[in-house]
Amino acid sequence: MTIGTVYLIGAGPGDPGLITVRGMECLRKADVVVYDYLSNPALLREAPEAEHIYVGKRGSTHVLEQPDINDLLVAKAKEGKAIARLKGGDPFVFGRGGEEALHLKEHGIPFEVVPGVTAGVAAAAYAGIPVTHRGCTSSLGMLTGHEDPTKPESALDWARIAGSMGTLVFYMGVKNLPKVVDKLIEHGRPKDTPVALIQWGTMARQRTVVGTLGDIVEKTKGIEPPAITIVGEVVALREHLNWFETRPLFGKRVVVTRSREQASDLSAMLQGLGAEVMELPTIKLVPPDDFAPMDKAIEDIASFDWIIFASVNGVKSFFDRAMEIGKDIRDLAGPRICAIGPGTRAAAEAYHVRVDCQPPKYVAESVVDEFRKMEDMAGKSILIPRTDVGRRLLMEELEKMGAAITEVTAYRTLPETISPEALQDLLDNPPDFVTFTSSSTVRNFVECVGKKSLSQIAAGTRFISIGPITSKTAQELGICITAEAEESTIPALVAAVVRDASGKKP
């Protein structure tokens, strides 16, 4: 019988971008993902077909006790499966990875340890605190603030710790912070020694409280785990090096309603500005029910004078289908290309197609104006690969100008469902912003959420639209748009969120 391999992967401290390349490789090939409370659930998207098993521990609440987790790994490996064991931070730094590895060894299960970025270093860095710094400290101690409660006495040599180490990093020490502080002061650390407590380090919800050994306990009342405590003179450097928490969207929760396939670019831009992104797709893109009309248009491509692409999705769907039926760019020698918007133009050019016309505004009205100025459209044959929903103004106006329009469905836009858990999360933690990238995202958001829940969410949420058509749809459905992108592009939508967050006017 084939035995599977267990990969003990350090998932990093929270920011999913901090997982290592090797960790991502192992995750993507896993049949089973066993993950902790502190491993970011966003990483599960990298193994969508795998079985996902949550074994998180939070305080005294354990989904599975450690011996049961050990046995689970063995059982899944004996089924011949590749197992990604995602552990917050590094598996061998206060992560009990050693216990799991020993259990696997005892049962003859092959395993690999994939080191991760440990929270004690990463959380400090995201708070603007280098754990070592020339002229400040040349020693670093990583310690648990929560020792095994079954031990009769502390295994920590407090006199040595307090007197000989420069920077001290305490893991899992929120509850025992008063004891840690008392021990350090008792063994010689001055009360004015700088201290920082960092909650949810590297995440958009990160919170950093700075004080001294003399007042940090009082200052951090009410803060709950997970948190890291940094003790030492390096904490003072935060005043100059605080880069993460000064980002324009830091601490803001932003909902992205785009389809799952399209969400990544928008999410990445928002996250790069410090936002906590909640991807809540309200639409999904699927192939047309019948490819025959598009296939015929592709076969007859030489008969068209123009092809008008209104979206990136239209471009991708059209060219992917063309290649599936044996065509390529050599067959596009006849028609000229019009692309609505820079994103659509870039998508077409990625297929090595030259774009002959890009209207200055990214709406149908602007396309019509351009064609009116350009040439007599009477008798011209125009192909428009598009979604199955949307305005018909472009086709109607071009037909009025005498053009012969062939409209084919390149893809369909269908409603996506929101899970009860996601909806409850939305209600329990109302976002600061909800972004809409099309009229479809607005309509389906309202339908998925429901009017009652929508009014509850809207009380403290600002709604940002990609353009006037989307804004009009939102207003018709009772949503007050608080900001609109200056042009209908994703970068402009992000800029509108930033502008609104800062209180600036367009």
**Angstrom distance (rounded) from CA 471 to CA 504:** 19
Q: Which of 15, 36, 432, 500 is catalytic?
A: 36
Closest CA to 121 of 171, 175, 86: 171
* Torsion 455-456-457-460 (CA) sign: positive
Strands 61-62 and 83-87, by their bridges, are unpaired
Beta strands in 88-174 (DSSP E): 111-114, 140-144, 167-171
**Angstrom distance (rounded) from CA 120 to CA 172:** 10
* Torsion 346-306-377-356 (CA) sign: positive
Q: Which two tokens stand for residue 145?
A: 């603030």
- Say what the alpha-carbon torsion angle 250, 256, 260, 263 is, to the nearest 10 degrees: -60
Measure the CA angle with vertex 232, ends 228 and 234; round to 5°: 95
Q: Which of 29, 31, 57, 182 is catalytic?
A: 57
Q: Which of 142, 165, 172, 203 is catalytic?
A: 172
In single-letter form, the type of residue at position 195 comes to V
Would you call 36 a catalytic residue per the annotation? Answer: yes
Would you call 504 a catalytic residue per the annotation? Answer: no
Residue 221 burial by Cβ neighbours in a 10 Å radius (0-12, 13-18, 19+): exposed
Would you call 172 a catalytic residue per the annotation? Answer: yes
Residue 260: CB atoms within 10 Å: 16
Say if residues 177 and 151 touch (Cβ distance below 8 Å).
no
Long-range contacts, stretch 57-66, CB < 8 angstroms, 24+ apart? 58/225, 59/225, 66/96, 66/99
Greatest CA separation for the chain:
92
Measure the CA angle with vertex 267, ends 264 and 273; round to 5°: 140
| Coil, strand or helix at 281 | coil
- Say what the alpha-carbon torsion angle 388, 391, 396, 398 is, to the nearest 10 degrees: -90
**Angstrom distance (rounded) from CA 199 to CA 383:** 55
Active site residues: 36, 57, 172
